[in-house]
C-alpha cells in the first residue's frame, strides 16, 4: 500500500481525534460553568465568569458561596472523575479486557475499610484529614497485598490477580459489614453515606491534597501509553518487543493505587466511571492508549461533573449521593456492554 493510499485514512483518524478532544474540552468548560452556578442558590453563568476573572459581584454572599463551596466542589468532581477515567483505561489496558475497572484490584474496598475504621473508632489524630488519610493508606495496602498475593514464580498473571482481587474485595466487604454492626447509629449512617460517594464536603484544602496525586497518576499513565499498546499484543509478544511486562504491571498498579485511593478517600466509592468512559472512548477512536488515556481523563472529568450537577439539581432541596447517580447510569450501560460482548465476540475467556 502506497503512502498516498494510507494518508486519507490517517487524515480521517486525526480529524476524528481532533473532534473528540474539542468536544470533550468544550463539554468540560460548559459543565464546569453550569455546575458552579447551579444549586439552591442559583447564579447565572455571567456571574461565575465574573468571579473567575476577579471582578467583584454585586452580591458578596454569592461571591463567597462560589469561592468557598461551589468552586472547590466542581474542581474536586473534575479531579476525581479524571483520575477514575485514567485508571479505568490503565486497568483495561493492563488486563486486556474492556470490562476491567479500578475496583478489580481491591483499592476501593480497601479504602472503605480504612474509612470505616476511622469512623467507628473515632480516630482524630490528623484532624479533618483523618478519615481520608486512613482510607488512602488502607487502599494502598490492599492493592499491594493483591499484587503480592497474585505473584507466582516471579510473575503476575492477570487471571490470578483478578481472582485474588475478588477474594480480597469479599473479605473487605465482610470487614465493613462487621464495623457497621459494632458501630453506633451515627457511625452506621456516616459509613453508608460515605460508601454512596459524594463531593459535597469538598474544600480547597482537600483539593490541594488530591490534585498532585491526580497529576502524578496522569503523567505515569501517559508515559506508559505506548507500552500498553504493545502489551495488548500479549505478554510474550510484548517481551519480544522489549517491554518489561512485570515492571509495567507494577508501575500501572502503583499508579492506579495512588490515584484511586486519593479519589476514594475524599469522594467515597464512585462506581462505573472507570468502566464506562474508557470503553466509550475506545468505541469512538479505537484502542490506542496515546489517545485513549488523555481522552479518558477528559471524559471522566466531564461525566463526574455532570453527575454531580444532576445530583444537586434532580431533586429540589436535596443532594443525592453522586455514586448513586453514576451507578444508575453505569448499571444499564454495563448490562448492554455484557450483552454486546457476548453476542459479537463470544464473551471473555
pLDDT in tens, 2-56: 444 556 656 777 888 899 999 999 999 999 999 998 877 778 888 888 888 888 8
**Picking from 267-276, 289-298, 300-309, which range would have the lowest pLDDT averaged per residue?**
267-276
156: helix, strand or coil: strand
Q: Where are the domains positioned within the chain? A: 3-323
pLDDT band at residue 342, thresholds of 50, 70 and 90? low
Segment 329-334 shows an average pLDDT of: 77
pLDDT at res. 9: 56
pLDDT at res. 261: 93
Segment 284-313 shows an average pLDDT of: 91
pLDDT at res. 308: 92
Task: Single out the residue of 212, 215, 221, 207 nearest to residue 88, CA to CA.
Answer: 221
The string of pLDDT tens digits covering residues 81-94 is 999 999 999 998 88
b/e map 161-173, b = 16+ CB within 10 Å: bbebbeebbeebe
Residue with more model confidence, 294 or 155: 294
pLDDT at res. 256: 93
Check pLDDT > 50 for residue 347. no
pLDDT at res. 152: 75
Residue with more model confidence, 233 or 119: 119
Segment 322-331 shows an average pLDDT of: 84
pLDDT band at residue 343, thresholds of 50, 70 and 90? low
Task: Single out the residue of 304, 261, 258, 311 nearest to residue 81, CA to CA.
Answer: 304
The string of pLDDT tens digits covering residues 98-122 is 777 888 888 989 999 999 999 999 8
Backbone dihedral angles phi then psi of residue 138, each to the nearest 5 degrees: -65, -35
pLDDT band at residue 153, thresholds of 50, 70 and 90? confident
pLDDT band at residue 349, thresholds of 50, 70 and 90? very low
Segment 164-185 shows an average pLDDT of: 91
CA 46 centroid distance within chain:
30
pLDDT at res. 345: 56
152: helix, strand or coil: strand
Task: Single out the residue of 133, 127, 94, 98 nearest to residue 250, CA to CA.
Answer: 94
pLDDT at res. 73: 94
pLDDT at res. 137: 94
Task: Please tell me the pTM assigned to this model.
Answer: 0.90
- What CATH number has the domain spanning 3-323? 1.10.3470.10
| Cα–Cα dist 250/147, whole Å | 8
Segment 318-343 shows an average pLDDT of: 79
Q: What is the mean pLDDT of the chain?
A: 86
Q: Is-contact 297 86, C-beta < 8 A?
A: yes
pLDDT at res. 348: 45
pLDDT at res. 341: 65
Amino acid at each position: 500500500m502506497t503512502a498516498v493510499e494510507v494518508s486519507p485514512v490517517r487524515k480521517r483518524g486525526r480529524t476524528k481525534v481532533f473532534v473528540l478532544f474539542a468536544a470533550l474540552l468544550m463539554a468540560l468548560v460548559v459543565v464546569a460553568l453550569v455546575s458552579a452556578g447551579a444549586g439552591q442558590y442559583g447564579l447565572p453563568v455571567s456571574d461565575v465568569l465574573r468571579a473567575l476573572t476577579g471582578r467583584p459581584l454585586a452580591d458578596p454572599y454569592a461571591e463567597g458561596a462560589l469561592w468557598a463551596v461551589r468552586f472547590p466542589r466542581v474542581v474536586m468532581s473534575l479531579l476525581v472523575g479524571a483520575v477514575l477515567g485514567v485508571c479505568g483505561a490503565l486497568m483495561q489496558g493492563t488486563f486486556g479486557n474492556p470490562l476491567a475497572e479500578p475496583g478489580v484490584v481491591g483499592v476501593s474496598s480497601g479504602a472503605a475499610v480504612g474509612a470505616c475504621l476511622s469512623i467507628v473508632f473515632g480516630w482524630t489524630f490528623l484532624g479533618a484529614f483523618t478519615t481520608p488519610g486512613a482510607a488512602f493508606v488502607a487502599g494502598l495496602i490492599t492493592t499491594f497485598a493483591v499484587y503480592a498475593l497474585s505473584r507466582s514464580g516471579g510473575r503476575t498473571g492477570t487471571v490470578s490477580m483478578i481472582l485474588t482481587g475478588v477474594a480480597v474485595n469479599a473479605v473487605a466487604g465482610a470487614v465493613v459489614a462487621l464495623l457497621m454492626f459494632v458501630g453506633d447509629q451515627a457511625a452506621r449512617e456516616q459509613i453508608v453515606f460515605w460508601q454512596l460517594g459524594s463531593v459535597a464536603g469538598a474544600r480547597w484544602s482537600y483539593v490541594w491534597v488530591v490534585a498532585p496525586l491526580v497529576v502524578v497518576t496522569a503523567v505515569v499513565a501517559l508515559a506508559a501509553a505506548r507500552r500498553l499498546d504493545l502489551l495488548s499484543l500479549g505478554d510474550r509478544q510484548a517481551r519480544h518487543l522489549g517491554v518489561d511486562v512485570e515492571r509495567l504491571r507494577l508501575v500501572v498498579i502503583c499508579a492506579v493505587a495512588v490515584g484511586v485511593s486519593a479519589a476514594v478517600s475524599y469522594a467515597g466509592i464512585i462506581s462505573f466511571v472507570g468502566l464506562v468512559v474508557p470503553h466509550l472512548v475506545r468505541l469512538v477512536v479505537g484502542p490506542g492508549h496515546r489517545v485513549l488515556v488523555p481522552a479518558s481523563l477528559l471524559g471522566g472529568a466531564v461525566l463526574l461533573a455532570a453527575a454531580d450537577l444532576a445530583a444537586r439539581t434532580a431533586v429540589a432541596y436535596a443532594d443525592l449521593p453522586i455514586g448513586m447517580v453514576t451507578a444508575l447510569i453505569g448499571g444499564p450501560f454495563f448490562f448492554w456492554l455484557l450483552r454486546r460482548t457476548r453476542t459479537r465476540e463470544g464473551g471473555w475467556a
